[in-house]
Each structure stands twice: as C-alpha cells, then as structure tokens.
Amino acid sequence: MNDHPLYKKQIKIPTIVGIFIVIAIIAGLATGINYLMKENARANVELSPQNIEITSITDSGFTVIWETTKPSFSALRITLPDGKQQTFFDERYHTSEQKKYITTSIPVRGLQPNTEYAIELLINGKSFVYPAVSSVRTGPTLSIDTNGMLPIYGSIMTKDNTPAEGAIVFVSLGTNSQTLSGIVKPSGSWMIPLNLLRSNDLTRLIEPTEETGDIFITIRYQGEETKVITDNANARPVPTIILGNSYDFRGQGKRKMQQEVADNNSFSSVLGTVTPDEKHISVQLLHPVNNGIVISDPPLFAGRGIPGNVVTLLLGEKEPYVYTTRVRSDGEWRLTPSKPIGAGKQKVTMTTIDKDHTPVTITHAFTIMKSGIQVLGDATPSATITEMPTPTEEPTPTPTPNIPTTGITTPTHILFIFAIGLILAGFIGLAW
C-alpha cells in the first residue's frame, strides 16, 4: 500500500524546530519594525522645526520663521475664516529655482485685519502644528499709513569675511516695540523698513521720537545667534557686523580715520584728482566728494579699501537702495548704479571693515546736476551690484513652486514585512 502512486509520505518537522522557526520570524519582524521606527524618528528630528518666530505683524499679514537641522523644502499653510486653505512659500523661492534651506522665512500677505488664522508648517511635505504657534492674529487697521521712519540697514559677514547669506535679522526697539525681520542677501547686505513698525500690542505705530532709544538686533545663522545694540545715529548704516561677536554701537562717534578721510577728500578738478596725502588712508570714499557737484546720472562711486572686503553703499534717503561691491586686488573699488537716481541733493553712505576688522562708516552729501556727461567712466565689469528697493507691506502675489512631497513609508514597510511573515508561516503550516 505504501507503494501506491497516490500515497505520499507526510513530511514532519520536529516540534522544537518549528518553535525555533516561529521565534526567528517574530524576532525578524520585531527587528525590522524597530529599525524602521528609529529611522522614521531620526528623520522627524531632522525635519522638526526649531526656533519658530512670528514677526512683522500688520493688519494684512505677518512673517513666520523657523530652522531645521538639515536643508529642506518648506512652506506654510494657513486656514482662512471661510475654512479654505492657502499655501505660502519662502520669499527666496522662485518658480524656476527651488532650493532647500536650513532657515526659512515665509511672508504672508493679503489677509484681513483683526482676524485669527490657523497655521501649520510644511517641511518636505510633512505637516507640523505646535500649540504655542498654531495661530496668528493680524493687527487692527490704523488710520496713519506710515510713521515716516527710515529703514535700518547694514552688512553682515561671517568669521571668514564672506557674506552671511541667508542669515535672519531681527530688529526691535525694546519691549515697547514689535519685532521685525529680514533676510541677509547674497551680498551680505540687509535692510528692514521701520515705517510700519508697530507697538508690541499692534494698536499704534511707533513714533519717530521713540527711535532715539536703543535698537536691539539679533542675527541668527546656522544655529548660532549674534547680539547687537545700536542707536538711531548708528542705524543707517549699522556698522559692519562679524558673526560670533557681540556689539554695542551706542554713542559711537566718527573715528579719527573717518575725519581724516573727510578732511582729505578734496578734488582739484571735476576729473577727480586726489591729494597725495590720501594714499596712506586704507579706507576712503573718494567720489563723489563731500558736498560736491556731480554732472553724471547715474553717478560713479569710487574709493579705496582692503582688497577682497565687501563695500556696502546706501544711496538716497526717501527711497533708499543698497548696493554692494568688493575691493579689487589693487585696493580700489568702483561702482555705478544700474539706473539714474535723479537730479538734486543726494546722500551716500559707505560701510566696510578696515585691516583690523573694525567697522568704518563714511557719509557724503552731493548734488546731481540736471544735465551733463559722465566724466569719470563706468565701474569695472568685475563689480557685482545687488539692488534692493525698500520693501513695502502691500499684498504681493506669491509664486507656487512644485514642492516635492515626502510621504511616510513606515506603514508600507511594516505591512510588507508582515506579508512576508504570513507567507512563511503559511508554508510552515502546510509543511507541518
């Protein structure tokens, strides 16, 4: 009977072997699940937003800032009063160029006054909501459009004397003032308008007389903070800041070297011939001469400095523009704005650092004639100009880049492992 072709001998697995197989499967599943959970937790820590700040609140918007451990694609989603949602992106995002950033700054515009908006942070497609910053309320509409205060600006460099691109600058006038923020440009320059600066409770605009007190500046860059205190006399520009140092610019007068520059900045003709004794001064603003007349528009700005250092120029008062260039290897720099600035009285302020890494600021007033020709030539092609118009608080359209969405794959992996385990268990059961 045992030789009958339909007879098949059953294969039996010893009980102890079967127990070991089941234990091995369970141990494998537990190890895999534990590994995936650890990997997911590590990814969450890297993406988890830190140092979340809400700044620059007006009656029509606000700005949200945060940092992540690693560069990431970030966005901000708000819930409107009617329940609809709208997404905003980092102010550096462009439809043609999307980058990952460690520090994110997202301005939100076009909102309603005195309205509560729920917010959630989106990092690589994953949503983060924190009770402390889960909503923002816009301020009331004020009858006065502006307080007439001029912007605060300056330059920020790293310890290696390179522009601190992407650093976040926070500015306030103390406990009575709200906090405004801005991003350092690739040139190292920054500018924050104060004409819409409100009180801490958002109910009124800060008066120009209140600006005579202390101005508090915090720079956040790659997880580190730099603290600066200055005053109105040293706010346009704020002397060049080197990250990692602490500064107190209050009451800082013009240095003796600056006075020497002002005294020696005399031109023998409109062609700009300088006096010989200026050559020993390492940092100079040679053109335009202080209280001089310029017959070209846009005018040429020229001077001397430490080779390789950045020179920042603030041009104009009512509608200031910031320009930057680097000192050439021969110690000279030249810069011509990209467009005319208009006839009449003007002012330019230069800021850079000298060979001792000491900030130097020089201001010249000058007058542009209504007509004329440029007599000193154009700036050298190597000069890099970064123009920054004064920002406004008007609603602006926000581009909508295609931010890649990263899903959570842990459940899929777990199901896959369980499926394999069930298949193996099925085979073992059949064999048993």
Q: What is the CATH number of the domain that holds 119?
A: 2.60.40.10
**Strand extents, DSSP E, 161-234:** 168-172, 180-183, 189-192, 215-221, 224-230
Question: How many structural domains is the chain composed of?
Answer: 4
Indicate if the pLDDT at residue 207 is higher than 70: yes
Verify that 229 and 137 share a domain, yes or no.
no
Question: CA 284 to CA 303: how far, in whole Å?
Answer: 5
Which domain range does residue 204 map to?
Answer: 145-251
206 and 177 share a domain? yes
Is 232 inside any structural domain?
yes
404 within some domain: no
Last residue in a domain, options 225, 251, 277: 251
Note whether residue 432 is domain-resident.
Answer: no
**Which pLDDT score, from 0 to 100, does residue 122 have?**
92
Gap between the Cα atoms of 123 and 369, Å rounded = 53
Residue at a domain's end among 115, 141, 167: 141
- Predicted confidence (pLDDT) at residue 205 exceeds the cutoff of 80: yes
Position 62 pLDDT exceeds 90 = yes
**94 — phi, psi (to 5°)?**
-135, 155
Evaluate if residue 337 carries a pLDDT over 60. Answer: yes
CA dihedral 116, 122, 127, 130 (to 10 degrees): -50
| 187 falls within a domain | yes
> Does residue 5 lie in a domain region?
no
This prediction's pTM: 0.57
Instruction: Check whether residue 260 and residue 363 sit in a common domain.
Output: yes
Which residue did the predictor score with more confidence, 316 or 426?
316
- Average pLDDT in the 188-209 region? 86
Q: Give the per-residue pLDDT at 226.
A: 93
Contact by Cβ (8 Å): 49, 69: no
Look at residue 145 and tell me whether its pLDDT is greater than 90: no
- Lowest mean pLDDT, pick from 10-14, 66-70, 75-79, 362-366: 10-14
Report pLDDT digits (tens) over 345-373: 888 888 887 877 777 878 888 888 876 44
Q: Does 67 reside within a domain?
A: yes
239 with 278, same domain?
no
Q: Which of 176-180, 280-284, 303-307, 386-390 has the lowest mean pLDDT?
A: 386-390
Looking at residue 273, its pLDDT comes to 37
Look at 229 and 297; give whichever has higher pLDDT: 229
State whether 260 and 361 are in the same domain. yes
Token pair listed for 215 = 């101005």
pLDDT higher than threshold 60 for residue 338: yes
Query: Contact at 8 Å (CB) between 195 and 213?
Result: no
**Residues 184 and 235 placed together within one structural domain of the fold:** yes
| The last residue of a domain, from among 141, 162, 182 | 141
Residue 325 sits in the same domain as residue 358:
yes
Tokens of 40: 């997911």
Q: Are residues 43 and 88 part of one domain?
A: no
Going by the DSSP 8-state scheme, the letter that residue 143 receives in this structure is S
For residue 89, the cross-strand partners are 75
Reported as a pLDDT band with limits 50, 70 and 90, residue 80 is: very high
Residue 67 and residue 53 in contact, taking contact as beta carbons nearer than 8 Å: no
pLDDT at 417 over 80: no
Instruction: Say if residue 9 is exposed, middle or buried (CB neighbours under 10 Å; 0-12, 13-18, 19+).
Output: exposed
Q: Quick one: pLDDT at residue 26? A: 74
In a domain, 406, yes or no: no
Model pLDDT, residue 256: 38
Looking up tokens 């819930």, which residue turns up?
Answer: 79
Q: Name the residue among 99, 110, 226 with its Cα closest to residue 168.
A: 226
Pick from 2-6, 87-91, 376-380, 402-406: least confident? 376-380
Would you say residue 122 lies in a domain? Answer: yes
Whether 10 has a pLDDT exceeding 90, the answer reads no
Claim to verify: residue 224 and residue 263 sit in the same structural domain:
no
Pair (42, 101) in one structural domain: no
Same domain, 261 and 352: yes
Q: Tell the burial category of 126 from Cβ atoms under 10 Å away from its Cβ (0-12, 13-18, 19+).
A: middle
Same domain, 181 and 238: yes
